Amino acid sequence: MYTIIKKLEISASHKLKLSYNSKCENLHGHNWIVYIYLKSDKLNENSMVYDFMDMKKSIMDKLDHKNLNNIVEQPTAENIAKFICDEIGQQCYRVTVQESEGNTAIYER
């Protein structure tokens, strides 16, 4: 089994709709640290699980320097992790999203 991990830093804004009063209901930004985990039992025609540059372009084009509310409904770190995993496809089995020091969410298939 082959495993690859891609690390990205995404600068993006969001605001949350919460059931309680919070400053996170105001538009604000983070430098999100993202780890994308993929696995495969075989390599593609280029001897790769997935091209790192293709993965970076795909996710950065969709999320970097964007308002995440326009992309993900209720863009919590948890929902952003799932969105990224779904965007990459079946080979992706785990995504870790750190929105700030000490605050990390993980989505696993």
Concatenating the DSSP letter of every residue in 73-90 gives SS--HHHHHHHHHHHH-T
Residues ≥6 apart with Cβ < 8 Å to 30:
11, 12, 13, 14, 99, 100
- The mean pLDDT value for 25-37 works out to 97
Provide the pLDDT for residue 64: 98
What is the Cα–Cα distance from 109 to 51, expressed in whole angstroms?
21
Beta carbons of 80 and 73 less than 8 angstroms apart = no
Beta carbons of 49 and 91 less than 8 angstroms apart = yes
> Which pLDDT tens digit goes with each residue over 70-107?
999 999 999 999 999 999 999 999 999 999 999 999 99
Query: pLDDT confidence of 30, banded at 50, 70, 90?
Result: very high
Task: Give the residue among 33, 32, 34, 44 at the shortest CA–CA distance from 91.
Answer: 44
Query: pLDDT confidence of 5, banded at 50, 70, 90?
Result: very high
Provide the pLDDT for residue 77: 98
Domains of the chain plus CATH, in order, are 2-108 (3.30.479.10)
